[in-house]
Each structure stands twice: as C-alpha cells, then as structure tokens.
Amino acid sequence: MYLHDYLNKIMRVWNAYEGQAVARFLSLQDFHVNDPNLYKENPDAAVSRQLPSPLDEIVSAHLKVVYHLMRSEPPNYTEAYRYQTSCIQAVVKLLQQMKEENWILPIMYVVSIDLRILAAKCEQQTKSSKCGEILEKAAESLMSCFRVCAGDTRSSDEDTKRLGMLNLVNQLLKVYFRINKLHLCKPLIRAIDSSNFKDSFSLAQRITYKYFAGRKAMYDSDFKNAEEYLSFAFNNCPRRFTKNKRLILIYLTPVKMLLGYMPRKEVLERYNVLQFHDLASAVKEGNVRRFDEAIRRHEMFFINAGVYLIVEKMKILTYRNLFKKVHQILQTHQIDMNAFQTALQFSGAEDVSMDETHCIVANLIYEGRIKGYISYQHNKLVISKQNAFPNVVVT
C-alpha cells in the first residue's frame, strides 16, 4: 500500500465518522506498520495536502513513529516515543476542536496505549535516564487527554467525551503502579467512583479499573473496599482469561483472609496459587510455627506479587485461632495470660515474653478478633460470654 492509498483510506473512514476504523490506521498493532512503502522520515507535506488539521498532525507523527521503529535496528524507541508524544498532543487538539462529538474517542484510546507501551520500551532502552521518569512524562500527556474528557460537561450523555475517561484512567493507573506513585491514583479513583457514567463503561474497562482500584485499597488497608473491587473483577472476568483471573486472585485471596474468609483448596489449585493454601491451613490451625514456615517457603512469590506485607498481617488471625483453642480447652471466661504464653511457646514462638503476650492479646481485642478485656491486676483475659471469638468464615 502506497502512502497516497493509505491517506485516502484514512480520509474515507474519517468522512464516514468511523472512529474505530480511523484508530486502526493509527495503531502500532495494525498490519500497515509492516508495509515498507509507509516508512517515511518526513511525510508532513504529503499528509497535509490530503488530510485536514489536526488529523494531518496525528497521522504525520504516527508515520514518523513507524519509521523510527521499523527502519532502525534495534528500534529507536527514544525517537519513536518523542513523535508519539507529538501524536497525543495533536489528539488533545482534536478533542478540543471537535465539540459535542465523541466518535473520535477510539483514536485517543489507541494513541494513549501506544504511548504508554513506547514509554516503557524507551525506559528499558535508555537505562541512563532516571527510573520512571519517561513513564511519568507519558502520564502527564495522558492527563492532558483526561482533563479534556472530564471537562466535557455540556455535551449530551450520548455525545460526551466523559465516556472516554475510564480508558485513560486505566492507562494512568498502569503507569502509576509501575513507577510506584500510588498516591496519584486516589484522585482518579475518586473521579470514576463519583461519575454518573461509572456503570456505562464497557465491562472490560470496568474489570481493569476494579482490579487496580482494589489493589490500591488493599495497600491502604481498606480491605472491605478492596474485597468489593477485586471480587467484581474476579467474578466478571471471563473464565477463558485464566491468567488474568489468577492475577486478580493473588490479591483477592489475602484480602478475603484478612476479612476472615478462608479460601478453598480447589479454587487455589485451579488457578495455581496453592502458596496461599499453606498459609490458610496454618491460620485455621492457629499454628504459628507452620505459618512462619509457609511465609519463609513462599517468600519470593509473595514479594514478587507485592503482597508480602499483607500476608504478614495474617499472623494476627493465627494468634486468634490459637487462643480460641486455649479457651475451648480451659472452658472458662477468665483465662490466665500464662496459658496464652505457654500456647504461643508450644506453637513456635519459643522466646515470647509475657509483655509480648499482653501486646498480642491487646491487638486482637483492638481489631475486634476477641471480645473482652485484660485484667492486669489478676493477669487474666476476661472474655465475653457470647461470641468471644467472632467467626472466621470458610468460602
């Protein structure tokens, strides 16, 4: 396909208001990228003769990106990223110019995705730059699009560019998680959760959003919201996407466990996350030694998944179940603290002191895992006669 034919095809679908078709001609995943006839270092004059502004700027920048990716060996990601940034700046111009129209949103989607991917490749290629710096600049370009979309409040619900917000938010969340700037996620999550269109976005986009929002809530120790977000993502993700469901489950499982829900082995087995089964077994038994061994055995898995500190918090559940067994053995509502210390020592915490035992019990009371109070005068735990140890549910 010659450049003239390529531009004619773009013009044809542009005049027909076919946003998806135009976007396909601007995607780095499309087959036209492999056509040597389109590798032009300076296509500006030819493009501006056939296409209106600012579409000509978008297409010219795209062709320059293609040139630097396909003509260089290895691909020149630095130059490609520079022109992709010019491409998205032209897209911002297009969004501002075309008021009360949103059929062009697919163009913004493909250009945004390619910008994020090129920024990541560019970081790998130019290791001299500060880690995350290029991706952070890419996020600033994406934010320019987001502001235009979020500010389109005058258009009708059918034509508003606000329907493109979630796609951009998902791109931004991916960047912020990658460069570890999670504090920047909060205003984006707030904007989507308060949007009138939050149920109008595509299911695929909502699943991606809930996955990242759930992870953010988990890191903020907001486990109830994390469970809600991640459960939505897991339950609505199609079964054929096993890899994605496994990824969601890696975060959903510790969140559920911290809320008192123990996972079934068959679910963990199906998605190859049996590392959590060893933990769940230790927690249910109240076996501190086995819990510590499970953490040590699967340490690298938990660290690489970014849940190590979260699973460490499950130790409090292990203590709760251990102390419940002490209560069941002694059958009294006034339990000597020495009994808890002995249980801890027997279960693996051999060097635990009485002060540490008091601290563990106090934390369990504070978190609502035990209903009662410590009588320091008599060195006893006085527990409620009704539901002293709120249930841990097996799901």
242 falls within a domain = no
Give dist(CA 97, CA 368) in Å, integer.
56
30 falls within a domain = yes
- pLDDT of 129: 60
Classify residue 31 as exposed, middle or buried by CB count within 10 Å of its CB (0-12, 13-18, 19+): exposed
Residue type, 290: R
| Residue ending a domain, choose from 188, 206, 230 | 188
| Residue ending a domain, choose from 163, 188, 213 | 188
249 falls within a domain = no
- pLDDT of 128: 57
- Per-residue confidence in pLDDT tens, the chain, 395 aa: 788 899 999 999 999 999 999 999 999 999 999 988 888 888 989 889 999 989 999 999 999 999 999 887 888 899 999 999 999 999 999 999 988 889 999 999 999 999 999 999 988 877 656 778 899 999 999 999 999 999 888 888 888 899 999 999 999 999 999 999 999 999 999 999 998 888 889 999 999 999 999 999 999 999 999 999 999 999 999 999 999 999 999 999 999 998 888 888 999 999 999 999 989 999 988 999 999 999 999 999 999 999 999 999 899 889 999 999 999 999 888 999 999 999 998 888 788 899 999 999 999 999 888 999 999 888 999 998 888 888 754 44
Cβ distance 134 to 119 under 8 Å? yes
Domain membership of residue 167 as a residue range: 1-188
- pLDDT of 259: 87
Cβ distance 321 to 340 under 8 Å? no
CATH of the domain at 365: 1.10.10.10
Q: For residue 320, give the nearest of 290, 363, 278 by alpha carbon.
A: 363
- pLDDT of 59: 94
- Segment (H or E) for 374: strand 372-375
Residue 365, phi then psi, degrees to nearest 5: -65, -45
Give dist(CA 395, CA 223) in Å, integer.
17
Tokens 């005058």, residue located: 154
Q: For residue 259, give the nearest of 214, 304, 324 by alpha carbon.
A: 214
DSSP state of 182: G
208 falls within a domain = no
261 falls within a domain = no
Token pair in block for residue 360: 């563990």
Give the β-pairing of 261-262 and 393-394: parallel
245 falls within a domain = no
Give dist(CA 306, CA 241) in Å, integer.
21
Write down the pTM of the prediction: 0.88
Cβ distance 317 to 389 under 8 Å? no
| Residue ending a domain, choose from 139, 154, 188 | 188
Alpha helical stretches, state H, the chain: 3-15, 19-24, 44-50, 55-70, 77-97, 105-125, 133-150, 165-178, 185-193, 203-219, 223-236, 242-258, 265-270, 275-285, 288-297, 299-305, 308-312, 315-330, 337-346, 354-366
Cβ distance 136 to 179 under 8 Å? yes
The number of domains in the chain is 2
- Segment (H or E) for 383: strand 380-383
Residue 99, phi then psi, degrees to nearest 5: -75, 150
Token pair in block for residue 389: 């140890």
- pLDDT of 395: 41
5 falls within a domain = yes
253 falls within a domain = no
Give dist(CA 314, CA 291) in Å, integer.
9
Cβ distance 225 to 254 under 8 Å? no
Give yes or no: residues 28 and 165 share one domain. yes
